[in-house]
Structure 1
Amino acid sequence: MRIVIDPGHAGRLTDPGAVSPFTGLRESDVVLSMAFMIQRYLRAVGYEVLLTRTQDEQPETDDLSYRTNLSNSWGADLFVSLHCNSAGSSSAQGYEVWTSPGQTQGDVLATKIFNQVAGEFPDRTGRTDYSDGDPDKESKFYVLVYTDAPACLVETAFLSNEEETTLLSNLTWQDRYARAIARGITDYVGGI
């Protein structure tokens, strides 16, 4: 099983992603830390895991097609992109799992991950869209549309929310989240 984990955004000089107004914590740093944790858990059960970046900076040619081309050329069986959310309101909170529009294997993957995150963090808010019968939200995000493998995008928590920024900065909490995502992936693999 070949799995691509995509720590979103590309670092200090290009795109740190969301930045907490409370602490300066950067999305690109949080998701890279979690990606290494997920990689460790998935390798422990025998999966091959490729990260789209392993450092704070990306190649100069980096754009979203770099990530999808890497996954497609490697022949990935699954693609999971990691992000932290942000909103104009500091009260926005919770997690989301996104897939491309329509019913695909990405929906099944997203639901497995969503369920594991919900089980690990019953005190956190799962932001859902059950209009098609499952909890994932749908969008034509580039990495979801142009990745050949079943793909989903996880918005772990809000950096614009002070409480969630505190959680995201905690390595133990990151590790719990990484384990939940890894369990969701193994649940998906076990069902195919």
Structure 2
Amino acid sequence: MKIAINGGHYPGLDSGAVGATGLQEAIVTQDLMKRVARYLRTVWYDVTEIQENELYQITDASNNFGAELFISIHCNSAASTSARGTETYCYQLGGVGERLAGCIQSQIIKSLGTVDRGVKTANFAVIRDTDCPAVLVETAFISNKEDEKLLADSTKRDEFAKAIARGITDLVAMGL
């Protein structure tokens, strides 16, 4: 199984969202990407890590790799600091992408107890322009004080990474 993991945004060029403490989304997602990839490699998946500045570079890298699944990892942000929780996006409902989103969402909620904001659809380029089932995981709100603490904590990041990896293996175990 060939899996592409994308850490959203690009350290040094595009920080993504920034929390009240200065925590940068690009740094968090880079760490999560590496951890998820490591867990998937331990169960013999062929994994590529992609963190580029341009969206077309991300989708091209995934497509050129021949990915069978694509997962983009992000930290959410909102104007309201009360917004919190996890949500996972797929391009459209009714296919493998939706099932993958559901597996990852379920594992994160069970493992970390974040607010369940559900599986949703979106027209994001990284999930629309890949040649395989793709999801975008909004792990937690970096703009929320409690969620930002989760994202800043190395142990909690590891729990997020394990949950994402388990969500992927759950889908594969179901036979895609």
TM-score norm. by structure 1 comes to 0.88
Tell me how far apart the structure 2 counterparts of residues 51 and 86 of structure 1 sit (CA, whole Å).
23
Aligned to 2:36: 38
Tell me how far apart the structure 1 counterparts of residues 26 and 6 of structure 2 sit (CA, whole Å).
11
Tell me how far apart the structure 1 counterparts of residues 41 and 4 of structure 2 sit (CA, whole Å).
12
Aligned residue for 1:127, secondary structure, equals strand
Residue 127 (structure 1) aligned with residue 117 (structure 2)? yes
Letter in 2 for 1:88: A
Structure 2, unmatched stretches of 5+, are none
Tell me how far apart the structure 2 counterparts of residues 182 and 89 of structure 1 sit (CA, whole Å).
30
Aligned residue for 1:157, secondary structure, equals strand
Aligned to 1:187: 170
Question: Which of these residues, 161, 167, 171, is aligned with residue 154 of structure 2?
Answer: 171
Which portions of structure 1, spanning 4 or more consecutive aligned residues, are displaced by more than 2 angstroms? none
Residues 8-51 of structure 1 show CA distances to partners (whole Å, capped at 9, x for unaligned) of 00122x2110001x210000000101111111110000001100
Letter in 2 for 1:74: F
Aligned residue for 1:163, secondary structure, equals helix
Bigger shift: 149-158 or 101-110?
A: 101-110
| RMSD value, Cα | 1.0
Aligned residue for 1:83, secondary structure, equals strand
Aligned to 1:117: 108
> CA offset at residue 121 of structure 1?
2.1
Within a 5 Å distance, the mapping from 1:1-192 to structure 2 comes to 1-12=1-12, 14-20=13-19, 22-53=20-51, 58=52, 62-122=53-113, 124-128=114-118, 136-192=119-175
Aligned to 1:133: none
Letter in 2 for 1:5: I
Q: Percent identity?
A: 43
> CA offset at residue 166 of structure 1?
1.1
TM-score norm. by structure 2 comes to 0.96
Structure 1, unmatched stretches of 5+, are 129-135
- Number of residue pairs matched? 175
8 A Cα contact 2:92 2:98, kept in partner: no
Aligned residue for 2:130, secondary structure, equals coil
Tell me how far apart the structure 2 counterparts of residues 160 and 121 of structure 1 sit (CA, whole Å).
18
Greater strand proportion: 2
Letter in 1 for 2:128: V
